[in-house]
Amino acid sequence: MEDYLSSDAKSIQEKYKVSLEEGLSSKQLEENYKLYGKNEISTKKQKHWFLIFLKALVEPILLVLLIAAVISVIAQLLSNDWKVEVEEFIDAFVIVAIVLLDAILETIQTIKARKSTDALKSLSKPIAVVIRNGQQQEIPASELTIGDIVVLEAGRYVPADLRIIEQSDLFIDESILTGESIPVAKTHLKITNNTDILAEMKNIAFMSTFTTNGRAIGIVIKIAKETEIGKISESINNSDEELTPLEKKLNKFTYCVAGLSVLIGLLIFITLFFVGNKGAWVNYLMVGITLSIGVIPECLAAIVSITLSLSTKKMASENVIVKKLQAVETLGSVNYICTDKTGTLTQNRMTVKRLIINNSIEDVNKFLYKNETHKDFFMKALVLCNDSITEGEERIGDPTELALVDYAEIHKYDEKLARKKWKRVFEIPFDSERKMMTTVNLIDDENVVFTKGAIDELLKVCSNIMVNGIVRSITSEDINSMMSLYQELSEHALRVLGFAYKNIKDYNNKNLLEKELTFVAAVAMIDPVRESAVRAVQQAHNAGIRVVMITGDHASTALAIAKDLDLAQNQTEVLSSDDLNKMDDDQLAKIIEQIKVFARVNPEHKVRIVDALKKHDYIVSMTGDGVNDAPSLAKADIGVAMGITGTDVAKEAADVILTDDNFETIIKGVNEGRNVYQKIKRAISFIIGVNLANVLAIFILSTINTISPLEATNILWMNLVVESVIALSIGMGSNDPTLMKVKPIKGKNPILQGLWFTFAKIIVFLSIATIGSFYIGMIYTTEAEVLALTDNKYTSWYEALRSSDISYANKSLIQNHGRLTMFVTITSAPCFFANFIKLSNWKSSKKVNVLPNKSLWISSFVSIAINILIIFIPVFNSEVMKLPTLNEYTTKNWYLILFAVLISFIPGLAMLILDGIIFFSYHYLPDPWRRNQLISKEFVNEDIKLKKLKKRQKTKNID
């Protein structure tokens, strides 16, 4: 790019053998097409839906489930001497159905995310005005090539990267590329000091930026992927898609569970083989494989997907569109938010905030004009020396001029009516060297000159000043006073623009128009912060999330905005691109945590910032709306694009899109993400805890009795029916608002972290209740039943079960009553205590945080009813579930079912009592060390509140 910057216009034309008058000839055009190609940017090829589906199927957790299905089929074949009976493979069918459901859900979610149109084709506007063969014509922008002569006018997008050859009052809005909110004045002159900063390349017009003012002619020097936009596109297309933190955690969790299940299966098989009848090894293998499958949470993949889907639907209603399911949890794990300034933290709309009038600074909201004459001259200067137009929602022109029109309209001055009444008869356009613009308007048959410009330059051409409507000679004290006021406003990043006027008879002498003027007033404007952004930043800080601002603006402007947002307070927290360029990646990583504002940055800087934060194990979110944000959006753990002002490129690169462009909405997403993750962890603690408790109880009873107390169908019914319904209902519960008061964990945050105590409670209490339930059931096994099934060898069921002389089938019949009560307990107990598995932030308050889950209570009672009902369904109870037939119930044993249900309450009650004791002890009987910590914390909080109060009072006094 340096050659184009430092070469003059004539050299550029000679390089491409083209003139401004003729443009490319047909022959040149053909040659250039062959040499350089056309201005077409290739987009990343999207995968076919079937490939997405296949990719979902081979994810680790689904692979484990498929293997489990195959193992269950083999186990059934072995136990049935390779006889194929369809009813024996119900468990495999259910597992496969769950795998397919999960893959289908992920495929549908991915396809939904493709509804947006091709990002770069949308950005590369279809029409360009060019000069070819000596004629001006309009062509599709995609047909441009190197050397084309392009004509730019206000209101047109730049169709390629251009070296400006001629220009008149040219201003281009480059905010989508550089992040700078104010349109940049462009020049056709060469730039001797070569620079890599896009915002300083004043003689280059970049593709997809917008011409706000003036006219220009430029030569195409870069097209397609060689443009700045194209480079960004290539970096996005070539970047590998990283797994989200949730995907990484679930994958690791799956491997651990798979290994554990294999170990448990082998352990149970070996134990039963050596303590039981070795001739029944096939039956023991079936038990080992069944319990091995029982450890694996078959329903977890579907539960995670459905929970995330429900959450994405809820988030969509709150203006957060999630493109990838797992991104919901990632958003909740974020502990660093890197945000663009323009349009994200600010309104992207210049607004008049202060006035310099009557030699003092006045707040526009409080100021009352004391003199109508003074006000009248000021309002006329605002709207007449101005080229912008507003018509309803339509706003055309420079943002600075639009701000002036907006302010005039507050005082009932309509720019269109004013210009119609007081017609412009002459003008001198704004010039970057003069830093002024002048118009001559006919008012009451007199020619009145209105001039606006930089206040320091304007005061040099003023000989008079208007104070309270009275015109007098301007003094050095007046000038010094206003320059002091100007300096004060500039330090707060306000852009100051002065206004002056005079009456003249003749405007033919252009050199005399901007002399002997009367200074009227000045306005100070800024792109103000969003009020919602201020609240959102505070909420982020309360949630332990760091927020840094990344902008293309100058450091002083960025710091002033950061102070308003309470992001930074002094210059040491600001890092400019010049200093950043002097650092290598390691140096940047060392100081990155101290920086709150990054100023004058280029796109590659943003990627470096994300990389530096990731070195510290932060979960990084990048928010933005411009093309310049796209690489960093893709690089960050979670990219958040703005839906209204955001470019399609940014939306394509992001994981999440905000439809209301409200920074506060991100915090809502974080809250939802944290709750989703908490619900998933609750579901995991429930599923794994119950599975391990069942396996432990069965392992103990199998070792003692040499036979499994439950059949494979009993375990699979529990895992695939009861657990699935309950775990899904857990994901439908209310959100816990206290989670936004918990600081996110920096670095690795394993999915099992914080769950071990919950596992221990479930395993201990449920195992004891299950084993106890089995023995209570066996009490009702009569001597007659044992004698009949052991050929009169044994009267004790315990001795019969431990004997190697009794067949496996007869042993199974002997323990019918024990199996019945144990089945009722393992299926009913989880339905009760699932409602008491609370992983909420119970340490934050002495108040018990009750989160009622209507869906969970309903599903719990329905599950219990179904579990009881199947006991009385003929054939299904005896042939499928291997439970007693209806004929086996007598007046002496029918209430076994009632006992089993009552026993099912014990684990839930025990957990509730234990949690109550812990909660009371923590809040009301703290140990001495923690008591001192609480007292110190109270003092710190009081000190923080006092400092904030003083700061607000100081700000109020300044205003």
Please check whether residue 428 is in contact with residue 510, taking contact to mean a CB–CB distance below 8 angstroms: yes
Looking at residue 475, what is its pLDDT? 94
Torsion of CA 144, 146, 147, 151, to 10 degrees: 40
More confident residue, 160 or 195: 160
Which entry of 161, 173, 340, 398 is annotated as an active-site residue? 340
Verify that 688 and 830 share a domain, yes or no. yes
Least confident range of 354-368, 523-537, 657-671, 921-935 = 921-935
Please check whether residue 222 is in contact with residue 160, taking contact to mean a CB–CB distance below 8 angstroms: yes
Domain presence at residue 571: yes
Contacts with 842 (C-beta within 8 Å, 6 or more apart), sequence order = 848, 849, 919
Q: What is the mean pLDDT of residues 942-947?
A: 66
Residue 479: count of CB within 10 angstroms of its CB: 17
Q: Residue 120 above 60 pLDDT?
A: no
The average confidence (pLDDT) of the chain is: 82
Tokens at 238, concatenated:
């070539």
Distance CA 9, CA 146 (A): 15
Closest CA to 351 of 403, 409, 408: 403
Closest CA to 407 of 438, 340, 362: 362
Verify that 493 and 405 share a domain, yes or no. yes
Distance CA 31, CA 688 (A): 68
Verify that 23 and 57 share a domain, yes or no. no
Distance CA 371, CA 364 (A): 15
Contacts with 818 (C-beta within 8 Å, 6 or more apart), sequence order = 709, 774, 775, 777, 778, 781
Least confident range of 258-272, 352-366, 533-547, 811-825 = 258-272
Q: Is 579 among the catalytic positions? A: no
Length of the chain measured in residues: 959
Chain-centroid distance of CA 161 in Å reads 32
Query: What 3-state DSSP class applies to 777?
Result: helix
Looking at residue 90, what is its pLDDT? 61
Of the candidates 644, 661, 678, which is a domain's last residue? Answer: 661
Looking at residue 389, what is its pLDDT? 82
Distance CA 690, CA 911 (A): 14
How many helices (H) and strands (E) are present in the chain, helices listed first? 36, 26
Tokens at 451, concatenated:
């001039």
More confident residue, 242 or 894: 894
Written as one letter, the residue type at 779 is I
Verify that 286 and 337 share a domain, yes or no. no
Verify that 358 and 457 share a domain, yes or no. yes
Q: Residue 768 above 60 pLDDT?
A: yes
Q: Residue 691 above 70 pLDDT?
A: yes
Closest CA to 870 of 899, 828, 809, 829: 828
Domain presence at residue 112: no
Check which CATH number belongs to the domain holding 185 and give it. Answer: 2.70.150.10
Distance CA 63, CA 838 (A): 31
Verify that 893 and 781 share a domain, yes or no. yes
Looking at residue 937, what is its pLDDT? 66
pLDDT tens per residue, range 54-76: 877 776 656 766 776 777 677 66
- Beta-bridge partner residues of 452: 437, 499
Question: Kind of pairing, strands 546-550 and 597-599?
Answer: parallel
Q: How confident is the model at residue 390 (pLDDT cuts 50, 70, 90)?
A: confident
Q: What is the mean pLDDT of residues 34-41?
A: 85
Verify that 404 and 293 share a domain, yes or no. no
Written as one letter, the residue type at 652 is E
Least confident range of 43-52, 737-746, 825-834, 869-878 = 43-52
E-assigned strands of 493-601?
Answer: 495-504, 517-526, 546-550, 574-576, 597-599
The DSSP letter of residue 720 is I
Closest CA to 644 of 623, 626, 658, 628: 658
Distance CA 951, CA 8 (A): 53
Torsion of CA 917, 919, 924, 928, to 10 degrees: 100
Domain presence at residue 275: yes
Task: Write down the pTM of the prediction.
Answer: 0.69
The DSSP letter of residue 721 is I
Please check whether residue 232 is in contact with residue 208, taking contact to mean a CB–CB distance below 8 angstroms: no
Looking at residue 403, what is its pLDDT? 92
Most confident listed range (174-178, 750-754, 882-886, 955-959): 882-886
More confident residue, 693 or 317: 693
- Beta-bridge partner residues of 185: 171
Tokens at 506, concatenated:
């003749």
Q: How confident is the model at residue 511 (pLDDT cuts 50, 70, 90)?
A: confident
Distance CA 209, CA 213 (A): 12
Map tokens 């308003």 to a residue.
Answer: 564
Question: Kind of pairing, strands 336-340 and 546-550?
Answer: parallel
Burial of 937 per CB tally in 10 Å (0-12, 13-18, 19+): exposed
The DSSP letter of residue 851 is -
Least confident range of 18-27, 389-398, 454-463, 899-908 = 389-398
Q: How confident is the model at residue 168 (pLDDT cuts 50, 70, 90)?
A: confident
Looking at residue 85, what is its pLDDT? 65
Q: How many domains in the chain?
A: 5
Distance CA 696, CA 690 (A): 10
pLDDT tens per residue, range 783-834: 888 888 888 888 889 888 888 788 777 888 888 889 999 999 999 999 988 8
Verify that 796 and 842 share a domain, yes or no. yes
Looking at residue 174, what is its pLDDT? 84
∠ Cα 242 245 246 (to 5°): 115
Most confident listed range (321-325, 588-592, 838-842): 588-592
E-assigned strands of 543-628?
Answer: 546-550, 574-576, 597-599, 620-624
DSSP calls for 223-289: -GGGSHHHHHHHHHHHSPPPPPHHHHHHHHHHHHHHHHHHHHHHHHHHHHHHHS-GGGHHHHHHHHH
Tokens at 229, concatenated:
């936009």
Verify that 477 and 397 share a domain, yes or no. yes
∠ Cα 40 46 50 (to 5°): 155
Query: What 3-state DSSP class applies to 22?
Result: coil
Chain-centroid distance of CA 45 in Å reads 24
Verify that 699 and 822 share a domain, yes or no. yes
- Beta-bridge partner residues of 449: 440, 502
Written as one letter, the residue type at 88 is E
Please check whether residue 782 is in contact with residue 893, taking contact to mean a CB–CB distance below 8 angstroms: no
Check which CATH number belongs to the domain holding 703 and give it. Answer: 1.20.1110.10
Looking at residue 81, what is its pLDDT? 66
Please check whether residue 729 is in contact with residue 859, taking contact to mean a CB–CB distance below 8 angstroms: yes
Please give the share of the chain, as a percent, with pLDDT higher than 90.
Answer: 23
∠ Cα 728 732 733 (to 5°): 125
Q: How confident is the model at residue 331 (pLDDT cuts 50, 70, 90)?
A: confident
Looking at residue 125, what is its pLDDT? 46
Distance CA 877, CA 881 (A): 5
Looking at residue 620, what is its pLDDT? 92
Please check whether residue 305 is in contact with residue 728, taking contact to mean a CB–CB distance below 8 angstroms: no
Q: Residue 267 above 60 pLDDT?
A: yes
More confident residue, 91 or 929: 929
Check which CATH number belongs to the domain holding 421 and give it. Answer: 3.40.1110.10
Least confident range of 341-355, 438-452, 493-507, 520-534 = 341-355
Alpha helices in 318-449 (DSSP H): 327-333, 372-384, 399-410, 415-421
Domain presence at residue 888: yes
Burial of 121 per CB tally in 10 Å (0-12, 13-18, 19+): middle
Map tokens 């356009």 to a residue.
Answer: 429
Q: Which domain holds residue 785?
A: 52-106+243-315+670-924
Tokens at 80, concatenated:
């049935």
Verify that 713 and 757 share a domain, yes or no. yes
Q: Residue 958 above 50 pLDDT?
A: no
Helix, strand, coil percent values for the chain (each to nearest 5): 55, 15, 30
Closest CA to 55 of 1, 120, 109: 109
Distance CA 486, CA 491 (A): 9
Domain presence at residue 558: yes
Please check whether residue 519 is in contact with residue 459, taking contact to mean a CB–CB distance below 8 angstroms: yes
Verify that 361 and 324 share a domain, yes or no. no
Looking at residue 147, what is its pLDDT? 92
Domain presence at residue 954: yes
Please give the share of the chain, as a percent, with pLDDT higher than 70.
Answer: 84
Please check whether residue 621 is in contact with residue 331, taking contact to mean a CB–CB distance below 8 angstroms: yes
CA torsion sign for 773, 775, 776, 777 is positive
Alpha helices in 779-895 (DSSP H): 783-789, 797-802, 808-814, 816-833, 854-871
Alpha helices in 348-398 (DSSP H): 372-384
Check which CATH number belongs to the domain holding 573 and give it. Answer: 3.40.50.1000
Domain presence at residue 788: yes
Looking at residue 1, what is its pLDDT? 47
Map tokens 């505070």 to a residue.
Answer: 538
Looking at residue 956, what is its pLDDT? 47
Of the candidates 504, 526, 548, which is a domain's last residue? Answer: 526
Q: How confident is the model at residue 283 (pLDDT cuts 50, 70, 90)?
A: low
Please check whether residue 149 is in contact with residue 137, taking contact to mean a CB–CB distance below 8 angstroms: no
Domain presence at residue 650: yes
- Residue 264 dihedral angles phi and psi, to the nearest 5°: -65, -40
